[in-house]
A and B are shown apart, each in its own frame.
Chain A
Amino acid sequence: MGQGIMLSGAEKEVDFFIHEVFQYKIGDNVLYITRSHVCLLIVMLILIIFCIVAGKKLKKAQEIPSGFQNVLELVMEFIDGLINGVMGKFSPKFRNYMATLFVFIFFSNISGLLGLRPPTADYGVTLGLALISFTLIHFNKFKHQKPKGVLKGLMDPWPIWMPINLIGDFAVPISLSLRLFANILSGTAIMALIYTLLGKIAVIWPAALHVYFDLFSGAIQTYVFCMLTMTYITDACTTEEA
């Protein structure tokens, strides 16, 4: 990591990088445990506790919901509606994965509000998510369209287009992950710039920027990531006869 440019008026350097918390030595290699890992664990812990509480609450579900049960039903109805709207008849199989993805990315994006460094501002996390989606897309492609259909899809207008179609296929995980990563990173970078350069006058009003960069941008990017994954999976599942 470079030294970073000392910007005029800053008492300390602008800092939104991933820092190591501690390190393990495995043979000759060093394994760094970074801020991303810690923040990821905190987000997962929050989600797990939320799920356990929600499960306990729903065991004693009431006919007429009230309080916490109302919120849970609202969230589930929203996510179900989103998934059913795009995937149609394929939705039952993918509901678990898409809902998990949605909730995880959303909580990661808004974890900047809790003072954490959002885990999705680490390219390792978003690339992992995109690769899972990529595997799912291509597994379903081979399962539903059969290898012959996949080959036919690759040579779409004419066989000479095959390299271009291949590049298009492999660009999917890269653009999916870079879009999410760059959006969240830009928000994190701008907030870090404001807090270091305008540190003396950054009182209360950065809250409005937090609403835009963390809440609004995070929600939009979650929606876009899930929408695109669902569209690609539905495309992969659709055969010509059906």
Chain B
Amino acid sequence: MEFNDSFIKGCSAIGAGLALIAGIGPGVGQGIAAGHAASAVGRNPGAKSDITSTMLLGQAVAETTGLYGLLIGIILLFVQPLTK
């Protein structure tokens, strides 16, 4: 079956939107990490710099999955591998 270019572009845009749902996971995860870091600073204010650096490292690693979704979204929208 043949599809025309506009149809494929529209479907690519929907696909890019769906791919960005991947952002939910890292959002929740980073929030949990930040919350625990805040309570850790509350318990032990002296270790604030250590806790902050550990939190940032963990959050950046957790962010990776969301970024994979973002990459797929950007590729679908701007590189458009599906159109001829």
Chain A residues within 8 Å of B, Cβ to Cβ = 1-5, 14, 17, 175, 178-179, 182-183, 185-186, 189, 220-221, 223-224, 227-228
Contact = CB atoms under 8 A, between A and B. Distances in A.
A2 B64 contact: no
A128 B53 CA distance: 26
Contact of A189 (B57, B74, B80): B74
B67 interface: yes
A221 B80 contact: no
| A interface SS class | helix
B67 A183 contact: yes
A228 B57 CA distance: 8
Interface of B: 9, 13, 53, 56-57, 60-61, 63-64, 67-68, 70-71, 74, 77-81, 83
A230 to B, nearest CB: 11
A178 B57 contact: no
B56 A223 contact: yes
| B interface SS class | helix
Contact of A224 (B13, B57, B77, B81): B57
Contact of A178 (B68, B74, B80, B81): B68
Nearest to B79: A2
Given A2-B78, A5-B13, A223-B56, A179 B70 contact: no
A178 B67 contact: yes
The 8 closest A-B pairs by CB, nearest first: A2-B80, A182-B67, A224-B60, A179-B64, A182-B71, A2-B79, A227-B57, A4-B78
Given A179-B60, A179-B64, A227-B57, A5 B78 contact: yes
B80 A186 contact: no
A219 B70 CA distance: 20
Contacts, number: 52
Contacts of B63: 179, 183
Most buried by A among B63, B67, B70: B67
19 contacts: A2-B79, A2-B81, A4-B78, A4-B80, A17-B78, A175-B64, A179-B60, A179-B61, A179-B63, A183-B63, A185-B74, A186-B67, A186-B74, A189-B74, A221-B60, A223-B56, A224-B56, A227-B53, A228-B57
Contacts of B80: 2-5
Nearest to B67: A182
A182 B23 CA distance: 13
Given A178-B67, A220-B56, 17 more contacts: A2-B79, A5-B13, A5-B78, A178-B68, A179-B60, A182-B67, A182-B68, A182-B70, A185-B71, A185-B74, A186-B70, A189-B74, A220-B60, A224-B57, A224-B60, A224-B61, A228-B57
A1 B67 contact: no
Nearest to B71: A182
Contact of A2 (B56, B67, B71, B83): B83
